[in-house]
Amino acid sequence: MSQATATPSINSAKTVDIYVNGGFRQSAATETVPVTNPANQAVIAYAPLTTMAEVDEAVAAAQAAFLLWRRVPAPERARIMMKYQMLLKDNHDQIAAILALETGKTFADAQGDVWRGIEVVEQACNVPAMMMGETSENVARGIDTYSLIQPLGVCVGITPFNFPAMIPMWMFPMAIACGNTFVLKPSEQDPMTPNRLVELFYEAGFPRDLVQVIHGGREQVDALITHPDTRAISFVGSVPVGQHVYRLGTDHLKRVQCMAGAKNHMVIMPDANRAQVVSALVGSSVGAAGQRCMAISVAVFVGDAVDMIEDVRAAMAVVKPGAWDDDKAGYGPQISPQAKTRILGYIQKGKDEGATCLLDGSDCAVDGLPDGNFVGPTLFADVSRDMTIYKEEIFGPVLVTMAATTLEEAIQVINDNPYGNGVSIFTSSGGAARKFQSEIEVGQVGINIPIPVPLPFFSFTGWKNSFYGDQHAYGKQAIRFYTETKTITARWFDDDAVVASNMTIALK
């Protein structure tokens, strides 16, 4: 589908539906949040602040559906999931167009967002094999022990604005495939994409009420977390909210996984391929407007590699943001005026604290879009670890650079950082790469790869302050997160066995 034909027909005045207790409908909420196009501030829809009665109704409907869905054989669940992934592929570009409109992402970036979610749905189709238990025969005389993998119940997903297709599909397809039901609370800043995902979910043939969708903010999130009938909470977002969700969830005895903030580093060794380094640094720092938790925001140049900084500056300078349907745009706007203002504040803070601003995107303007939330590529040098632009996540197209004398020094800098989401090293030395992957205290490591997000048969494994919980998203760890293990120890008696046992005793 071309970009010209992919644009959906959206009534800008419409309030986005909720899915509660049997179907999509308008919320009874009296308050709404405007959903705006970040490129021009036009209001394209409204997200309702779902009422507490509707939240309770959604959880109750999901709980009732769970009692039936848990009995459906895993192969049958997988077959419907296969239909769902086919529908997602058939509607891939349409979903991407909706996503691009409400997030401001370029169309290519929006397509990638959708596709990475589809990959997790494909993995969910393999659920029968992933839910097999273990068996040990004759753990004692005539006694066998085996385990069963069983679903939890009603699970909850709280998803962010920056990946409104991928992150929901990290969550509810895996939970549903395992036999659970789900309540999705997407970001109120881009709720239309998640709604479309759930529309296709039911079009695939899933029974009603397996996935409920409510919209809102902190009040709705807290109501879901504290509800007595919800069992597991999945969250992706900022560190403060992640800490709140984790503490509130664990206080209420919920199983919780919270993927939070990051400060991702790339180490550049002197023997690294210069062209690859420049391309990787530019794409991973300003791509998606820097609004991704795996973006590279710190480049650590080791030794003579510092000479590459000017090449990075020159390459960043030619990248221009623009509207989602502009083929020449390198990336889109920030999600909101508030996000833009926050990023501009960090840029000014960097200057005030003594960093050298080699490229300043503060006054970025895009022709025809004077009200867009655009920030141009920004590059800092001479950054130290005590500076705000190093210590805090900026979540924008801003790259800070540092110098290290040795690889050991670079590793120490990264290990001292409180975040541990992603990291990468660019080098031609196998020895340096092996030392780095062994000693670095970060959960996801790239070697000559800038953004090492694992495919769905692995898991997304952030460490330290980038993650709160025990089991990570998708892959095998998601199966463990969305299920419980029941261990059975069994002994059976029959007449022949009793006779044989008596004869053994008599012989002794």
pLDDT tens profile 268-277: 999 999 999 9
427, 271 Cβ separation under 8 angstroms: yes
pLDDT digits 0-9 by tens, 56-80: 999 999 999 999 999 999 999 999 9
Average pLDDT over every residue of 389-410: 98
Query: Of all residues in the chain, what percent carry a pLDDT higher than 70?
Result: 95
List pLDDT tens digits, range 424-477.
999 999 999 999 999 999 999 999 999 999 999 999 999 999 999 999 999 999
Under DSSP, is residue 231 helix (H, G, I), strand (E, B) or coil? Answer: strand
Q: Stretch 465-491: mean pLDDT, rounded?
A: 96
Is the pLDDT assigned to residue 228 strictly greater than 50? yes
Give mean pLDDT, residues 125-149. 96
The pLDDT value given to residue 10: 47
Q: Are 35 and 190 in contact (CB under 8 A)?
A: yes
Cα distance between residue 167 and residue 120, in whole Å: 10
Q: What is the rounded distance in angstroms from the CA atom of residue 346 to the CA atom of residue 342?
A: 7
181-185 and 422-426 beta bridge pairing: unpaired
Residue 54 is predicted with a pLDDT of 98
pLDDT tens track for 103-113: 999 999 999 99
- Over residues 303-352, the pLDDT tens digits come to 999 999 999 999 999 999 999 999 999 999 999 999 999 999 999 999 99
Quote the mean pLDDT of the chain.
Answer: 95
Which is catalytic among the residues 178, 293, 357, 364?
293
Helix (H, G, I), strand (E, B) or coil at 206: coil
Neighbouring CB atoms inside 10 A of 384's CB total 12
Distance CA 64, CA 21 (A): 10
Mean pLDDT of 7-21: 73
Q: How far is CA 274 from CA 210, 219, 378, in A?
A: 51, 49, 20
> Are 148 and 199 a contacting pair, CB within 8 Å?
no
Residue 13 above 70 pLDDT? no
The predicted-structure confidence for 242-295, as pLDDT tens digits, reads as follows 999 999 999 999 999 999 999 999 999 999 999 999 999 999 999 999 999 999
Q: Is 111 exposed, middle or buried (0-12, 13-18, 19+ CB in 10 A)?
A: buried
Looking at per-residue pLDDT, the higher value among 476 and 10 belongs to: 476
Quick one: tokens of 422?
């992603």
How open is the CA angle 431-433-434, to the nearest 5 degrees? 65
Q: What is the pTM of this model?
A: 0.93
- Helix-, strand-, coil-residue percentages of the chain, each rounded to 5: 40, 20, 35
**Model confidence band, residue 1 (pLDDT cutoffs 50, 70, 90):** very low
- The band of 502, judged by pLDDT with boundaries at 50, 70 and 90, is low
Residue 496: pLDDT above 80? Answer: no
Q: Sorting pLDDT into bands at 50, 70 and 90, what band is 494? A: confident
Q: CB count, 10 Å around CB of 108?
A: 15
Q: How far apart are CA 158 and CA 254, in angstroms?
A: 14
The arithmetic mean of pLDDT across residues 129-133, rounded, is 94
The enclosing H or E element of 425 equals strand 422-426
What is the rounded distance in angstroms from the CA atom of residue 36 to the CA atom of residue 47? 10
Q: Is 364 a catalytic residue?
A: no
What is the Cα–Cα distance from 412 to 387, expressed in whole angstroms?
A: 17
In the structure, what pLDDT confidence band is assigned to residue 37 with cuts at 50, 70 and 90? very high
